Amino acid sequence: MEAMSVAQRVSAEEYLAWDGPRGTNLVEGDIVMPQPRPLHPEILMRALHALRTWSEAGAGRGLVSLPLDVGLDDGNVYAPDVLWYRSERAPGYDDPRPYQLPDLAVEVRSPSTWRYDVGAKKTNYERHGLPELWLVDTAADEVLIFRRSKPAAPSFDVSEELARGEALTSPLLPGFTLALDALFA
């Protein structure tokens, strides 16, 4: 088994005070620990690199980060694989955990935690107003994008499913483009 849920229900406060390994998530009160396959960090770094390159190429292009604890509610504290905040919402260096929802969250598929990415995490991201979610499906070499037709849309009412040969872009990131052939090289 490549991931485990610790059979112990904790609150967001207890979770944030817990001195466990990073990269975990609190999903509906359960601590979930992914143990990525070797491919996962590689693809994660490619996505991170593409976003950072874009973000540093112009002023006011926000903050790209490795996993940070993002608090949604008392049972849910997630650590998206990559986060992006637009400039005016980026947390400061001294801000305490947990951080606010980013403008874009990227989750890369790991065996046995994908059910959370597709299930409870996606549902809660949607309910708490995340503007855009990228699910990077390493089994299918696809990226599934969920976004909102307008900022106030109550659900992810726009979806895309990108495969090799296609390029990932986003209305949130003018000028950003990532070829899926490069992501899944």
Partner 1 sequence: METMTVAERMTAQEFLALPDTRWAQLIDGELVISQPGLLHDGAAKEIDYALQTWARAEPARGRVCGPLDVQLEEGHVYAPDVLWYRDGRVPDRHDPPPYPIPDLAVEVRSPSTWRYDIGVKKSTYERHGLPELWLVDTAADEVLVFRRSKPSSPTFDVAEELAGSDTLTSPLLPGFALRLDAVFS
Give the footprint of partner 1 on this chain (CB under 8 A): 28, 109, 111-116, 118-120, 122-123, 126, 135, 137, 139-140, 142, 144-146, 155-157, 159-161, 163
Q: How far is CA 7 from CA 23, 94, 149, in A?
A: 18, 33, 38
In the complex, least distance from residue 98 CB atom to partner 1, rounded to whole angstroms = 22
For residue 12, count other CB atoms closer than 10 A to its CB.
18
**CB of 42 or CB of 160, closer to partner 1:** 160
Contact 76, 15 (CB under 8 A): no
**CB of 139 or CB of 152, closer to partner 1:** 139
**CB of 14 or CB of 126, closer to partner 1:** 126
Contact 88, 78 (CB under 8 A): no
Q: Which of 80, 89, 96 is nearest to 13 (CA)?
A: 96
**CB of 53 or CB of 159, closer to partner 1:** 159
Transcribe 127-165 into DSSP letters. HTT-SEEEEEETTTTEEEEEE-SSTT-SS--EEEEE-TT
In the complex, least distance from residue 36 CB atom to partner 1, rounded to whole angstroms = 15
In the complex, least distance from residue 138 CB atom to partner 1, rounded to whole angstroms = 9
In the complex, least distance from residue 161 CB atom to partner 1, rounded to whole angstroms = 4
